[in-house]
Amino acid sequence: MIYRKLGNTGFNISALGLGAMRLPEYEKEGKWYMDEDECIDIIHHAFKKGINYIDTAWPYSHENNQYIVGKAIKGYKDKVKVSTKVPMWNVEREDDFWYYLEEQLRRLDVDCIDFFHLHSLDNGSFENKVLKLNVLENMEKAKQKGLIAHKCFSFHDKPEIMKKIIDTGAFETVLCQYNLLDRSNEDAIEYARSKGLGVIVMGPVAGGRLAAPSDTLKKLLPNAKDTPEIALRFVLGNKNVSCALSGMTSKAMVDENVETAARCNEELSSEEWKKISDTLEQIKELSRLYCTGCDYCQPCPMGIQISKIFLLYNFHKVYGLTQYAKEEFAKLLSEAEGDPQSCIQCGECAKKCPQSIPVPEKLKQAAALLKTIQH
């Protein structure tokens, strides 16, 4: 396992972090449960393989996740750091911050939470909750009291909002989305590092999309074994990223991810980085020319998910993620409405498209192509 400095926190984090959100759970008579022994076995397996960061959150596994993580970290407290998050969508009053902190200390059964995040900040929650309800001040108080070790945020908004939040100077790490298919946070990540924050990336394989084989992406790093390796090497090849979080569901998956991470033990050379960047830019331009996903063309009277079909077309045609496009298109066709063949050529979508895409015509072509890969 490779370890990297996590910003100015003083912690050397494993390049691969364990996302606890996908630990196995099951439903019985309308209630959700986790098999404690199985989950703890997976977590301990990850720790033994050198992973030293585990990420949980209030809502994970129908709110059962933190109890399991709390039990699993017993005996590992000097080696492993735990991260959890305040569910900002539930925070309505200033006291709520303390409620969620104290309750999570209880659920995790710890005296101090190592990395305490404000969960899923965007501009709205930052302006209306963090600033108005004195969350930053209370976070600092919690740190002074020794109830949390590091002040962090996770993030889902535009990169300029991430920079604005970083500029408060209140945070030590940021958890954000970044992968081969979505590089929108790349500059903000660099900015975060320049301000001394540690950067942890979620979604390195783009929600499973980069788990599928792709001949196009294979060309980016010909010596890589498969697409997940390319995806992880891309994320960890960015020197501003300290750790890639991966949600793991089994010991076999831990083994596979650890093995992949071990092959990502070098930052990409500036030559490799440039080649990947240039190629991705060209690929991105190709997709941009096609459809930006803005959805201004909606609603379609026939319920056709136009941008989704164009996106799948791009995944197949531009990124070579044919298997993924095939499966998702099959799912889309099995839904009650939205078959692109139901288009009545009303032309409403094309009138609203800022890219001047002749939507009905392109839709027909995209659907025809996606149908050909179904067999």
Q: Is 304 among the residues that bind ligand SF4 (CB under 6 A)?
A: yes
Paired with 31 in beta bridges are: 28
CA distance 368 to 309: 11
Residue 180 or 366 having the CB closest to ligand SF4: 366
Query: Is 42 a binder of ligand SF4 (CB under 6 A)?
Result: no
- Smallest distance from ligand SF4 to CB 356, Å: 8
Q: Is 366 an interacting residue with respect to ligand SF4 (CB under 6 A)?
A: no
Q: What does the per-residue mask of binding to ligand SF4 show for 76-95, with x meaning CB under 6 A?
A: --------------------
Q: Which of 8, 341, 355, 374 binds ligand SF4 (CB under 6 A)?
A: 355
Q: Which of 212, 268, 357, 370 binds ligand SF4 (CB under 6 A)?
A: 357
Comparison of 218 and 364: residue with beta carbon closer to ligand SF4: 364
Decide: 304 and 269 in contact? Cβ < 8 Å. Answer: no
Beta bridge partners, 198, equal 173
Among 181, 243, 291, 367, binds ligand SF4 (CB under 6 A): 291
Asked if 314 touches ligand SF4 (CB under 6 A), the answer is: no
Cβ proximity to ligand SF4: between 249 and 298 the closer is 298
Q: Which of 103, 344, 361, 365 is close enough to bind ligand SF4 by CB under 6 A?
A: 344
Query: Counting contacts by CB under 6 A, is residue 348 touching ligand SF4?
Result: yes
- Listing DSSP states for 89-135 in one string gives GG--SHHHHHHHHHHHHHHHT-SSEEEEEEEEE-HHHIIIIIITTTH
- Examine residue 306 and tell whether it contacts ligand SF4 (CB under 6 A): yes
Q: How far apart are CA 347 and CA 350, in angstroms?
A: 5
Distances (CA, A) of 216 to 208, 237, 291: 17, 19, 20
Query: Taking the complex as a whole, how short is the minimal distance between the CB of residue 358 and ligand SF4, in angstroms?
Result: 10
State whether residue 88 is helix, strand or coil.
Answer: helix
Q: Residue 307's CB: how many other CB atoms inside 10 A?
A: 18
- The 137-156 contact track toward ligand SF4, x by CB under 6 A, reads --------------------
- Residue 192 within binding range of ligand SF4, rule CB under 6 A: no
Helix, coil or strand: residue 348:
helix
Instruction: Note whether 330 binds ligand SF4 by CB under 6 A.
Output: no
> Minimum Å distance from CB 292 to ligand SF4?
5
Cis before residue 354, ω within 30 degrees of 0?
no
363 binds ligand SF4 (CB under 6 A): yes
236 contact partners, CB below 8 Å, separation of at least 6: 2, 15, 244, 261, 264, 267
DSSP string computed for 33-75: EE-HHHHHHHHHHHHHTT--EEE--TTHHHHTHHHHHHHHTTT
User: Shortest approach of ligand SF4 to residue 195 CB, angstroms?
Assistant: 34
List of residues contacting ligand SF4 (CB under 6 A) = 291-297, 300-302, 304, 306-307, 310, 343-349, 352-353, 355, 357, 359-360, 363
